[in-house]
Structure 1
């Protein structure tokens, strides 16, 4: 294993969790972020080197990335932070990984495939719960039914919670609606417009359509032109969200998003270790072809944050070991559906 790994956003909730698991994966990242006092404190705690720099200053970013081989970018919201970091990685020929789940970020990264190949680097957003388990599911099903035309993915969690960073990303997306892929194109679709019941192992559960990252990435991984992603939802909440199209205009206002952010800032940074340990995630998938044949699979894995810490470190280590493909890549597209088997707590059902 050669080269240095830079963990940017190390002082955030997920960044700190990644640090907890880094040693067991044989990694000693250089810590980085915008808040020098917080990064310096972590550096002292873990006895790791640190650097600071602002994403808005290109010169600072270039200095930050000196002697770096791989960046693991975990400072969201990625709709605002991904572009400057990706641009810095392209300028300096450094591999880029992040843990986004935002469709526009995936599409932006995909548009840079040629530039990434020219720079001799890999750009792989989505190395966490968004989208590793679902991407592995999509790849496995596509391998089972090679002429599939439709892909449906669904996930649900028992227990768990969300971090400030994830909640902030959601707050800044208020009123934006949903998305699906139809005939190869990503199209706007009202949030929760599609719903069905899926048995994740404890009886049928209502799921609704959401704009999950796989609407972008699964097409790159599988070539399947029609994709819908669902998540488990209580029926009462689903009924409320289906009406969101009537008040999206209000949710998109600065006032609404500011109020949401103020509420988020009063909450804990993220789920406690006990909450995470008592949480499980389940992923279901189904493909079908034009002749009516289908294939279905399901897997279980750790809570989203624990999985993200492990999966992002596993992928970062692969890249440091020279196991990567240049250009824009997806997790399962590059490493196969078996990637999920390498992540602690994961199993096909």
Structure 2
């Protein structure tokens, strides 16, 4: 592999996992972020190069990206950081990847498609669990049923946990309700708008709730299917509680409550430990439907989400450095095909 990879936000939970796997695999990456002290300590631990850069400083981030082929952007909340990084990438002709799952980020990057194409770079957000497996599953279902008009996706984790960054993003958006795509347009819906019992492959249907997942944007880009909804496995009682408390959800967006939730999150573990990641799995389900009622169902089983994110983000960056990239805004499946997820050891796909 030729090319230079920069991991921005490398000392966060997922960024550090990417750095660790890069060291184990003999991939030379440059660590970056705002905090020189944390970068220096991390670089010493892994024997990797580092450069401090601040996204809020236009010159600082452009200097860091000079001579870089691809950035793996790991510094969230991505709704607040993606634009500065993407514009810096366009200016320096650096390919952009990130690990976000936020629909608004995908929409914003899609709007930069023309500028990225002119700069001959690829904008490829969602190179981890958000949204490689679900995007590949959507593209696979589209290939099985080309005239599908409706797509529903669902996932659940069995074991593992969430990082500080993931938890903070969830807390930041909890008051906003849900998002679906209807007739080609994004539409806001209440929290826990729809529920459904879904069989992830063990013959025991699980209770799932609709959520505002990034596939309402990426799967539309990948498949053109105009009606898309995403579910997550969640206990029935929790979904009922969310519905009952809908009138109170706007309060969770106020600064005092946001700060309180942030402090509680930071007091907990940084994320799942090695043993939790080793034993956990993720399961995904997808269904397409045609206008005349025909359906197709497929499922995926993958390694734990943070392991998947670190491994897949690094694999995609290496592909880019090897010259495998398309200009403009892309999704995992438009860039590398519906079978990309199957390149990850431990990932399996099943068709009904």
Q: Could you state the TM-score of these two structures normalised by the residue count of structure 2?
A: 0.97
1:25 touches 1:313 (CA, 8 Å); kept in 2? no
Aligned to 2:247: 246
- Quote the Cα distance in structure 2 between the aligned partners of 1:260 and 1:108: 27
Q: Any idea what SS the aligned residue of 2:207 has?
A: strand
2:53 touches 2:60 (CA, 8 Å); kept in 1? yes
Shift of 1:24: 5.1
| Structural mapping, 1:308-323, within 5 Å | 308-323=309-324
2:201 touches 2:299 (CA, 8 Å); kept in 1? no
| Structural mapping, 1:199-278, within 5 Å | 199-202=199-202, 203-278=204-279
Aligned to 1:160: 160
- Quote the Cα distance in structure 1 between the aligned partners of 2:182 and 2:69: 37
Which consecutive segments of 4 or more residues in structure 1 shift more than 3 A? 23-26
Shift of 1:23: 4.0
Shift of 1:245: 2.3
1:341 touches 1:347 (CA, 8 Å); kept in 2? yes
The farther-off stretch of 151-160 and 243-252 is: 243-252
The count of residues paired between Structure 1 and Structure 2 equals 349
Aligned to 1:102: 102
- Quote the Cα distance in structure 2 between the aligned partners of 1:301 and 1:217: 19
1:168 touches 1:264 (CA, 8 Å); kept in 2? yes
Aligned: 1:41 with 2:41: yes
Specify every segment of 5 or more residues in structure 1 that has no aligned partner in the other structure, as ranges.
Answer: none
Q: Any idea what SS the aligned residue of 2:311 has?
A: helix
- Quote the Cα distance in structure 2 between the aligned partners of 1:221 and 1:86: 21
Aligned to 1:86: 86
- Quote the Cα distance in structure 1 between the aligned partners of 2:294 and 2:46: 53
Aligned to 1:31: 31
Deviations 1:84-143 (A, max 9, x none): 111110111110000000011000000000000000000011001000000000000000
Give the root-mean-square deviation of aligned CA atoms. Answer: 1.0
The farther-off stretch of 146-155 and 166-175 is: 166-175
Q: Any idea what SS the aligned residue of 1:246 has?
A: helix
| Structural mapping, 1:17-28, within 5 Å | 17-23=17-23, 25-28=25-28
Specify every segment of 5 or more residues in structure 2 that has no aligned partner in the other structure, as ranges.
Answer: none
Q: Any idea what SS the aligned residue of 1:310 has?
A: helix
Q: Could you state the TM-score of these two structures normalised by the residue count of structure 1?
A: 0.98
- Quote the Cα distance in structure 2 between the aligned partners of 1:80 and 1:25: 31
Q: Any idea what SS the aligned residue of 1:337 has?
A: coil
Q: Any idea what SS the aligned residue of 2:218 has?
A: helix
- Quote the Cα distance in structure 2 between the aligned partners of 1:118 and 1:110: 14
Shift of 1:174: 2.6
Q: Any idea what SS the aligned residue of 1:162 has?
A: coil
- Quote the Cα distance in structure 2 between the aligned partners of 1:278 and 1:209: 26
Q: Any idea what SS the aligned residue of 1:149 has?
A: strand
Aligned to 1:140: 140
1:178 touches 1:189 (CA, 8 Å); kept in 2? yes
Aligned: 1:173 with 2:173: yes
Aligned to 1:290: 291
